[in-house]
Structure 1
Amino acid sequence: MERYVDGFVLPVPSDNLDAYREMADEAGKLWIEHGALEYFEGVGDDMEPDMDGMSVRTFPELAETGDDETAVFAFVMFESREHRDEVNARVMEDPAMDPDRSEEEMPFDPERMAYGGFRSIVNYKD
């Protein structure tokens, strides 16, 4: 089965990490409740990996994090793009998604978040 993934990379101010974790926890429960297969949010840990001399762009570079920020990587797994569209529509209609929530209350700047939908080309499972 071809899986579909929504992926995110974003900078989060270090002082807001606890508030972000709470928001992510609520979001994860909501996406799973509405049918997502998996929800993952991770905070940067090994952000300067030794790639044996190979030059790579790091997640902090990608997210353009400042000295007081950390990179967050997140993804939501779906059965297909159709399934993603159905789940996301249900999530957006859920009363828990308050459309009046102001950006000042957000623990990160949503305009600095990178997002994309990805169809799988290789997918292994245990």
Structure 2
Amino acid sequence: MTYVTGFLSPVPEGNKQAYIDSAEFAWALFAEYGATAHWECWEEDVPDGEVTSFPMAVKREAGEKVVLSWLIWPDKAAADACFASMETDERWRDMDMPFDGKRMMWGGFDPVFVKTA
């Protein structure tokens, strides 16, 4: 069954192109390991919250944008194999991360409702 890995990251506005370049580099590896889709979404309308919000979740600082990303996998096993490869496949070490990875969050999700037009 399809599996989704989601990410939320704070990225300095000035690093937008570097971030896109990094995502393009990563996509080649994700696809090789079985990912079927990769979305990177740059903050457009992301309000601050009073109790919780995307900016609060990543501790967004002045001059940063929130990026919402996800990968689609054929199944959890493919995702797990890909992420395990980050310890052994040296190509991952060549990937630039133009943001504070300590404030990035991620997780795996089992889709329960999917519709497309």
State the TM bucket, normalised to the shorter chain: 0.7 to 0.9
| 1:9-88 correspondence to structure 2 within 5 Å | 9-48=8-47, 57-88=52-83
5+ unaligned residues in a row in structure 2: which ranges? none
Give the alignment's TM-score, normalised by structure 1: 0.77
1:46–1:67 distance in 2 versus 1, CA, 3 Å:
same
Q: Choose 1 or 2 for highest CA Rg.
A: 1
5+ unaligned residues in a row in structure 1: which ranges? 49-54
User: Does residue 3 of the first structure (1) align with residue 2 of the second (2)?
Assistant: yes
Between 116-125 and 56-65, the greater mean CA deviation after superposition: 56-65
User: Does residue 122 of the first structure (1) align with residue 117 of the second (2)?
Assistant: no
Which digits, 9 at most, give the CA deviation of each residue in 1:58-92, with x for residues without a partner? 32232221121000011111111112123334565
Which digits, 9 at most, give the CA deviation of each residue in 1:68-122, with x for residues without a partner? 10000111111111121233345654342127x7xxx631111110111111112
Which consecutive segments of 4 or more residues in structure 1 shift more than 6 A? none
Say what the alpha-carbon RMSD is for the aligned residues.
2.5
Determine if contact 1:7/1:115 at 8 Å carries over to the other structure.
yes
